[in-house]
Structure 1
C-alpha cells in the first residue's frame, strides 16, 4: 500500500509533468517573483528557464523582454478582484533573446495546493498563496484579428459603395439581422431603424406580398431573383441562402439593386429596335416579324394596306430634306389616327408605309381606306401645314393564303393607284 508521502510525491510529479508539458509558456509566481518556469516559457523567451527562475516580474520587464507592466498597486488590485472571481487579462509585447518580437496574453490563475492544472483565468486562492502566470503566444491570433478587421472593413466599404443597392441579412422569421448600404440611409432608412425589425412591418403590404415567397425560399436553401416596383422605381431583389461551415442554412440574404436606369435604357433600346426614329411608327423589321407571327396564328382574315406619300421627291428638291422629313412626319400622323390601336402601322421605306389589319375582311379594309381619304383631305385643308396625299393599295388574305403574297398584291394595287392619280389634272 502506498504511503501518504508516496502519494504526495506522485501527485507532485504528475503536476510537474503537466506543468512542463503545457503548450503555453507557464511560470509560478510567489508575490512578484518567478519560482518556476516550464520549457515553453524558455522557448518563448529564447533562453534557459534557469535564467527566468528567481526574476521578479518588474526585472523581467526592465530586461526589455516584456512591455511595461502595470504598477504594483494595480497588480494588487487585480489580485483582490481575482479573489472575488473576476477575470483579468493583459496583452503585452515580448522580445526573445535573439530580438524577435511577439505579442502575448498574460493571465493570472490560482494554484491551490499545487494540485490543479494551470488555468487561463484568475481563481480565488488563499492570501499569500502561490499563483501561476501563463504567457500564450498570440502573435498569429492578433494578426488574424487584424486581418479579420481589415476584411470586415473591406466588406463594409464594398457594401456601402454597392451601386444603387443594399444588402440585407434576415432570419427564418424574416427579421432584419444586418442592413448595409449608404443608399438606405440616403433613402431615409438608417440601418439602426431596420435591424431587428420584421420585413413585413418595414415594407408596404403589396411589396412584401410580392417578395415574401422568395425570402422564405432563401432561408429554405433556394436562390431566386425578381423585379419589384417600389416608390416609382424598379428594384432587382436577388434572394439567396447564407450557409455555415457545414453547408447548413443559417440565414437569408437579399441583394437589392435599383435597376430603374437600366430598365429605362432597355425600354428605350427595345423601342428603338422596333420603331422608325423619324416618324415613331413601327419599322420594317417589326412589321415583318408581326407578319410572320400573324401567318402562324388564328387572326385571319388579315388585310394589308400599302401607302406611298405622293410628291415627296418634289418637296425634297424644292424645299430641302428637312421639309421632306416634316412631310413624312405629317403623313405618319394621318395614318396613325386612321387605324385601330391593334393595327400595325409601319414605315417600311423612304416614302413607303404599310399596315397590318388582323381580323379585317376585305369590306373592313375598304372602309379603312375610305377613312384614310377623309383624314387626308381634312388634314390637307389647312393652310398652315403642307398637304398630305397618299397612293393606296389594299389586299386581304384568308386562312391558308400567304401574307407575303398579299403584301405584294397590296403594293401592286398601290402603284396602280399612283399611276391613275398621276394622270388626273
Structure 2
C-alpha cells in the first residue's frame, strides 16, 4: 500500500500539482517545487509566513478575495474545493486559473493540526479544468454515497446520494458532525480506524444509522488520504447500499474508464524516462507520434528517437533535469525515419529512490512548416516590395510608418528603414507637404475608401521637387475595422518633364529657345486687332550661315543662330514676340509699335551685331520691316512687305559686307599663321614674278596672287594647339589638319571673290607623284595654280623664321633651292621647280 501511495504521489508530482501545507494557525510549513513554480515563491522564502500573504485567491469574474476559504478549513469547516472561477495571483501579480482543494490535516486521533492546499495551474489547458468540473459534478450526482471525514472524525463532505442514503435532506444537517452519529455500533468505528492506520484503506460492511434512527447495511470503501510527506490528511469513504451493490460497481467501473480516457485522449505524447534514457512509462499518443507499438516503445532509449542530440549529450541532459523542469524544442525521428519537430516540457522526480524524467511532447511539425512557409512568403513579398521602382509604404491608424521600401526611403532622403519606422510625415517632409499627405491619409482611414492614381507633389528634404502618381488603400482587420493603409507612389517626374518639354517644343524652337513659326502664326491671328495698332513686323536674315556651316561645321552654325537669337532678345522689348521663322530667318512681331520705335530697335540690332563675333567673324544681319497702321490692311501683306524690304537690304549691304568679311578673314588668317602684312606683300610680289615667269597673264595671274594670300584659309577652323604643335603629329591629328584644304575649298566656293581659286585651294597638297591629298591627283591632273603655290609655299616655309625652324634656324636660300630640287618629280612639278630656281637665282639679293 505504501508503494501504491508513493507511485500515486510521484505521478501527481509529474503532471504538475502544487501543494502548500500550513500549521493550524495558517503559517506555511511547506511548498513543493511545483507550488514554487506556480506561485513564484521559493519555499525557503515563505516558510513561517501566513498563507494569505503568499496564496492570494480571487474570483475570476468579481475579483473578490476567496482567501476566507483557507481560514474556514483551518477553523474546522472541513474540505473545500476551489470553484472553477478561482484565480491565483502569483508573486509577480500575474493571475492564473487554478483548481484544487483545501483540506484540514488531522493527526491519528482526529485532531486538526493544519491544512493542505493542493492546486494545479490551469493556464495551459482550460479543457482539463472543464473535465475536472465534470468529474466533480459526476461525484456529486453519483448514485454512490460518498463522504469525507477529517482526522478528528468530523464529516467534511457528504454528497447528495449520501444524504439520501442516510435519509437527510440538507448537507448542513450532517457537515461538521462526528461520524459516530452515523454508525450503528461504536466498536466498528475503531475497527475501521485501525485498518486505515495499518493499510491506509478499508473495505467492508458496516451498519449505518439513518436520520430517523433506523439502521441499514452499507458497504464501505474508505481510504486514508496522505500528503506528499506521507502524513494522513483525511479519510474518504464510499458508501453503497448492499441492495444496490451491482449498480455501484458499474458506476465505479465507468469512473475508472473516464479517468483512463483523460490520460489516453491527451493530444500530447507523455513519456517517463529513467536516468539511463530508457522508457519507464508512456501513453499511446507518444507511441503514435513515433510510429511504434507500445511494446516497442518500452524497449527504446531516448537517443533512438531524438534526432538533434547525440547519445552522450542526451545522457548528460538527463542528469541536469531538475524538479523545476525545462522547456525546449527538439526533433524526433520516427520509426520510418521521418523527422518531426517537437516541443518538450520536462521535469524530474524521484520515485522509489530513482530519478525519473517526465516529458510532455507536443508535435509542432505543422506549426514549424507553417512558420517556414510564412517566413518564405514574407521574404518573397519583402524582396518584391524592396525591388519595385515605385515607392511602397504601410502606415498605421495614427499614420506612423510601419514599412518603407528603398524607393520610399529615397523620397524621404533616408538610407535605412529604421530611421523612419514609427514616424509620421510631419517628422520627415516640409509642413505643407505633410499636411496634404495627412489629409489624404485621414480620408482613406475615416471613409474606408481608396485613393487611386492621384497626382501628388513631393518635396524631398534636400529641396528637390518630385511628382508622384499616388494610390492609398485602407487595411482592415478581421472585424472589418480600418487599422492602417498601404501606399504606392509611382514617380512621374520625368514623364511630367517630358510632357512639359513636348508642350514647350510645340511652341518653341529647340535650338534657340525662341518661339517657333506655329506659335507666331497663332499669335498673329490673335493680336491682329484694332486695339493692337500700329503693328510692326521685322524680318531678319542671318548672313553667312552657310559659310560658317561649311567652314566650321554645323555645330558652329548652330552657335551663330543661338548668338543671333541672344542679340535679338537683348535688344527687343519684353512684350515683343521674337520667333525663328525657319532656317536663318527670324521674325519680330511688335504690337502697338510706331515706325519710329521700330527704326530704333533696328538700329540697336545693327549696333549690337558690330560688337558681336562668331568664329572671329562679325555678326551680320539683313533687316527689313513694315508697319500696319489701319484696320483694313491685310497683315500678311504687311508681312510680305517686311520680307521684301529685308531682301532689298541684303542686296544693298551685300558688296560692302563681303569686302568687310574678306578683310576680316585675311586678318584672322594672318593672325592664325603669324604672318605680317609686309610678308604677305612679299609673297604676293614673289607670286607676281613667278607667274610672269611661267607666262601667266590676266585673270590667271590675279588668281595666283590671290591664292598665295588665301591658300591656308581652311586653317581658320583648325585647332590652334595642332597648328602650333612642333612635335610630330599623331595619325588622328594629321587627319584633322589635312581637312583644312577641304574646309578652305568650301569657304572659298561661298565667297564670290575667292570662288575662282576654290579648286586650287582644294588641290594645294596634291603631290606630283600622286602621294598627296585629298584626291590623290598626280602630274598635270593637279591644277597649275596649285603646283605653283606648292613651290612658293615650301620655299617660304624654309626661308622664313617660323615655329617649325626655331631650333635649326632659317634655311639658307641655296639649301632651300637644293631641297626643292631634291623633291622635284615627287612632291613638285620638276619643270616648274627648274623655272623657280632660275628665277630666284636671277633676283637681286
**Fold match by TM threshold 0.5:** yes
Please state how far the C-alpha of 1:279 moved relative to its aligned partner: 1.9
Take 1:298 and 1:97, find their aligned partners in 2: how far apart are those partners? 102
1:412 counterpart (623, 640, 647)? 640
Task: Check whether the contact 2:623–2:649 (CA below 8 A) recurs between aligned residues.
Answer: no
CA 1:419 to 1:187, structure 2 compared with 1: closer, same or farther past 3 Å? closer
Confirm or deny that 1:240 pairs with 2:472: yes
Q: Which runs of 5+ in 2 are unaligned?
A: 1-141, 145-237, 239-248, 349-353, 654-845
Size of the aligned set, in residue pairs, is 385
1:81 counterpart (317, 324, 342)? 324
Please show how residues 26-425 of structure 1 align to structure 2 within 5 Å: 26-27=269-270, 29=272, 33=279, 35-38=281-284, 41-52=286-297, 54-55=298-299, 59-64=300-305, 66-68=307-309, 71=314, 74=317, 80-82=323-325, 88-108=326-346, 133-136=360-363, 138-160=364-386, 167-181=392-406, 184=409, 187=413, 190-220=416-446, 221=448, 222-223=450-451, 224-230=454-460, 231-236=462-467, 238=470, 240-244=472-476, 246=478, 248-255=481-488, 271-272=504-505, 274-287=507-520, 294=526, 301=532, 305=537, 307-309=539-541, 311-312=543-544, 315=547, 322=554, 325-341=558-574, 343-355=576-588, 360=591, 363-364=592-593, 366=595, 369-382=598-611, 384=613, 385-394=618-627, 406=635, 408-418=636-646, 420-421=648-649, 424=652
Instruction: Give the aligned partner of residue 114 of structure 1.
Output: none
Task: Check whether the contact 1:339–1:368 (CA below 8 A) recurs between aligned residues.
Answer: no
Please state how far the C-alpha of 1:51 moved relative to its aligned partner: 2.3
Task: Check whether the contact 1:283–1:348 (CA below 8 A) recurs between aligned residues.
Answer: yes
Task: Check whether the contact 1:276–1:283 (CA below 8 A) recurs between aligned residues.
Answer: yes
Take 1:11 and 1:106, find their aligned partners in 2: how far apart are those partners? 30
Which secondary structure does the structure 2 equivalent of 1:81 belong to? Answer: coil
Take 1:299 and 1:251, find their aligned partners in 2: how far apart are those partners? 63
Instruction: Give the aligned partner of residue 50 of structure 2.
Output: none
Report which of the two structures shows the higher radius of gyration computed on alpha carbons.
Answer: 2
Task: Check whether the contact 1:345–1:355 (CA below 8 A) recurs between aligned residues.
Answer: yes
Please show how residues 3-42 of structure 1 align to structure 2 within 5 Å: 3=144, 6-7=250-251, 9-17=253-261, 19-21=263-265, 24-27=267-270, 29=272, 33=279, 35-38=281-284, 41-42=286-287
Take 2:293 and 2:360, find their aligned partners in 1: how far apart are those partners? 18
CA 1:286 to 1:217, structure 2 compared with 1: closer, same or farther past 3 Å? farther
Please state how far the C-alpha of 1:318 moved relative to its aligned partner: 8.3
> What does the per-residue CA deviation read over 1:387-408, in whole Å, with 9 as the maximum and x for residues that have no partner?
223233455897xx9xxx84x3
> What does the per-residue CA deviation read over 1:56-115, in whole Å, with 9 as the maximum and x for residues that have no partner?
xxx343324654386467457665335xxxxx54332233322233323334599xxxxx
Take 1:104 and 1:252, find their aligned partners in 2: how far apart are those partners? 38
Task: Check whether the contact 1:338–1:368 (CA below 8 A) recurs between aligned residues.
Answer: no
CA 1:27 to 1:330, structure 2 compared with 1: closer, same or farther past 3 Å? closer
Take 2:570 and 2:388, find their aligned partners in 1: how far apart are those partners? 47
CA 1:328 to 1:182, structure 2 compared with 1: closer, same or farther past 3 Å? closer
CA 1:147 to 1:133, structure 2 compared with 1: closer, same or farther past 3 Å? same
Take 1:298 and 1:48, find their aligned partners in 2: how far apart are those partners? 108
**TM-score for the superposition, normalised by structure 1:** 0.69
> What does the per-residue CA deviation read over 1:285-321, in whole Å, with 9 as the maximum and x for residues that have no partner?
44456668x48x9997495736241645775698576
Take 2:650 and 2:406, find their aligned partners in 1: how far apart are those partners? 70
Take 1:414 and 1:101, find their aligned partners in 2: how far apart are those partners? 97
Take 1:187 and 1:10, find their aligned partners in 2: how far apart are those partners? 74
Which secondary structure does the structure 1 equivalent of 2:397 belong to? Answer: coil
Please state how far the C-alpha of 1:226 moved relative to its aligned partner: 0.9
Take 2:637 and 2:474, find their aligned partners in 1: how far apart are those partners? 64
Which secondary structure does the structure 2 equivalent of 1:142 belong to? Answer: helix
Q: Which runs of 5+ in 1 are unaligned?
A: 83-87, 111-126
Task: Check whether the contact 1:310–1:389 (CA below 8 A) recurs between aligned residues.
Answer: yes
Take 2:316 and 2:557, find their aligned partners in 1: how far apart are those partners? 99
Take 1:203 and 1:397, find their aligned partners in 2: how far apart are those partners? 59
Take 1:266 and 1:159, find their aligned partners in 2: how far apart are those partners? 28
Take 1:298 and 1:142, find their aligned partners in 2: how far apart are those partners? 84
Take 1:320 and 1:30, find their aligned partners in 2: how far apart are those partners? 100
> What does the per-residue CA deviation read over 1:19-75, in whole Å, with 9 as the maximum and x for residues that have no partner?
5555x452353767353433x5444323334422x35xxx34332465438646745
CA 1:28 to 1:169, structure 2 compared with 1: closer, same or farther past 3 Å? same
Take 1:64 and 1:132, find their aligned partners in 2: how far apart are those partners? 14
Which secondary structure does the structure 2 equivalent of 1:80 belong to? Answer: coil
| More divergent stretch after superposition (229-238 vs 320-329) | 320-329
Which secondary structure does the structure 2 equivalent of 1:364 belong to? Answer: coil
Which secondary structure does the structure 2 equivalent of 1:143 belong to? Answer: helix
Take 1:74 and 1:351, find their aligned partners in 2: how far apart are those partners? 96
CA 1:310 to 1:256, structure 2 compared with 1: closer, same or farther past 3 Å? closer
Please state how far the C-alpha of 1:234 moved relative to its aligned partner: 2.4
Task: Check whether the contact 1:242–1:249 (CA below 8 A) recurs between aligned residues.
Answer: yes
CA 1:321 to 1:130, structure 2 compared with 1: closer, same or farther past 3 Å? closer
> What does the per-residue CA deviation read over 1:150-196, in whole Å, with 9 as the maximum and x for residues that have no partner?
34344444555555x86543323233334453985995664444333
CA 1:326 to 1:390, structure 2 compared with 1: closer, same or farther past 3 Å? farther
Instruction: Give the aligned partner of residue 734 of structure 2.
Output: none
| More divergent stretch after superposition (321-330 vs 231-240) | 321-330
Task: Check whether the contact 2:567–2:609 (CA below 8 A) recurs between aligned residues.
Answer: no
